[in-house]
A = this chain, B = another copy of it.
Amino acid sequence: MTDAPADLAERLATMPPAPERAFASDNAAGAHPAVMDALVAANEGHALAYGSDRWTAEAEDRFRQLFGAGTQSFLVWNGSGANVMALATMVQQADCVVCSDWAHIAVDEAGAPERALGAKLLTLPTPDGKLRPEQLRSLAHLQGVQHHAQPGVVSLTQSTELGTLYTPDEVAALCDTAHDMGMLVHLDGARIANATAALGGSVATLRSFTIDAGVDVVSFGASKAGMAFGEAVVYLDASLASRAKYVRKGVNQLASKMRFVAAQFNALLHDDLWIRLAEGSNGTTAQLHAATADIPGLQFSADPQVNSVYVSLPEWAIKPLQDWCFFWDWDVSKHQVRWMTAWDTSPTDVQRFADGVRHLLA
């Protein structure tokens, strides 16, 4: 299985045409046309800076419609910024933030949370990227002891960094445990659209694993969902937002010409476009999995739940395939790679990709 076929050179020379779009990441895609049109349309005349504009007012309205009238949203530049801002408004002095050892905040933000918060991230082992209530309970012995940073905030990622999902009940159980222990709950929703699409595809779905489940603050991802840039921090418990506007500035997340973030949100949130686009990327990943599952030499870690699959390939096949149509390595020790689709990945892209993989491996 791990040996290259004798006719490898011939197979490579006769690869079918590559897909138009590669399978690197959902952030390799641009913005949806409706989003880009809205951004362009907002470039009209003068508007007061820093959020005192009509586009931002509309976006804040739209977020209240999504999550409830008592919630409060703040537009920001990017996902790391959203996470850091959210956490900075949630921690108390000497708190630590509890999260999965796969959490983006722990692994992929170059220490931004520790820098901005001056607080520890306490990572817990999660083979599937998901925290469990009993893991939180195991931290009780830290509470009240002066030598230990105090577990004050739990940060979940939905969908997770491993492409898995919490059910609404699982989120609720974590929130209940956390709140019982005096902790707050943050949800990193860099791919909240994919989670919403996968779990039901409606605003009610969104609410089921956020505000209804007891989450306190959400980082609402939009760059991966079809915007050019921009995310939001949404305070489901608005009482936590009292310092938010100052903290947003203090972590460099206040846009001067905020209308260009807001206008994109107004298009993306209109008529649930964000959910429809995520259904698309989830769907093309499912299609890709189905179209390749039987190819000899591929080992999928699990069936995809959202818009990524993790698959081990024969080592000799990885580089040639990446050269033909790029995707990222995931765990080189296992010859495992990640294939990810975006809102604009087409069925044709998927079919071509599957054809190419089959051509090389079968």
Q: A49-B28, A93-B246, A229-B255 are in contact. Are A114 and B110 (CB under 8 A)?
A: no
Q: Does residue A20 face the partner (Cβ distance < 8 Å to B)? A: yes
Q: Does residue A108 face the partner (Cβ distance < 8 Å to B)? A: yes
Q: A94-B243, A252-B77 are in contact. Are A119 and B111 (CB under 8 A)?
A: yes
Measured CB to CB, the residues of A under 8 A from B are 20-22, 24-25, 27-31, 36, 39-40, 42-50, 77-81, 84, 88-89, 92-96, 106-112, 114-121, 123, 141, 146-150, 223-224, 228-229, 243, 245-257, 259-260, 326, 332, 342, 344
What are 6 sample pairs from A and B whose C-beta atoms fall under 8 A apart? A20-B45, A78-B254, A107-B147, A110-B148, A146-B245, A229-B257
CA distance A117 to B123 in the complex (A): 19
CA distance A247 to B91 in the complex (A): 13
Q: Are B43 and A36 in contact (CB under 8 A)?
A: yes
Q: Are B81 and A89 in contact (CB under 8 A)?
A: no
Q: A29-B46, A107-B148, A250-B112 are in contact. Are A121 and B120 (CB under 8 A)?
A: yes
List 6 other contacts, CB 8 Å, given A28-B47, A120-B121.
A28-B46, A30-B42, A39-B228, A80-B254, A115-B119, A229-B229
Q: A80-B252, A110-B250 are in contact. Are A92 and B146 (CB under 8 A)?
A: no
Q: Are A251 and B46 in contact (CB under 8 A)?
A: no
Determine how close the nearest CB of chain B comes to the CB of A94; give it in whole angstroms: 3
Q: Are A247 and B28 in contact (CB under 8 A)?
A: no
Determine how close the nearest CB of chain B comes to the CB of A93; give it in whole angstroms: 4
Q: A27-B257, A77-B77, A78-B256 are in contact. Are A115 and B46 (CB under 8 A)?
A: no
Q: A93-B246, A256-B78, A257-B27 are in contact. Are A120 and B116 (CB under 8 A)?
A: no
CA distance A148 to B254 in the complex (A): 12
Q: Are A94 and B246 in contact (CB under 8 A)?
A: yes
**Of the residues B20, B39, B146, contact of A248 by C-beta under 8 Å:** B146
Q: Are B43 and A30 in contact (CB under 8 A)?
A: yes
Q: DSSP majority for the A interface?
A: loop
Copies in the complex: 4
Determine how close the nearest CB of chain B comes to the CB of A3; give it in whole angstroms: 26
Q: A24-B46, A114-B118, A252-B251 are in contact. Are A257 and B228 (CB under 8 A)?
A: yes
CA distance A41 to B1 in the complex (A): 45
Q: Are B119 and A260 in contact (CB under 8 A)?
A: no
Q: A93-B246, A115-B119, A119-B115 are in contact. Are A252 and B84 (CB under 8 A)?
A: yes
Determine how close the nearest CB of chain B comes to the CB of A327; give it in whole angstroms: 11
Contacts of A229 in B (CB 8 A): 229, 255-257, 260
Q: Which 8 A-B pairs have the closest CB atoms?
A: A94-B246, A111-B149, A110-B249, A81-B252, A30-B43, A110-B250, A146-B245, A28-B46
CA distance A20 to B77 in the complex (A): 29
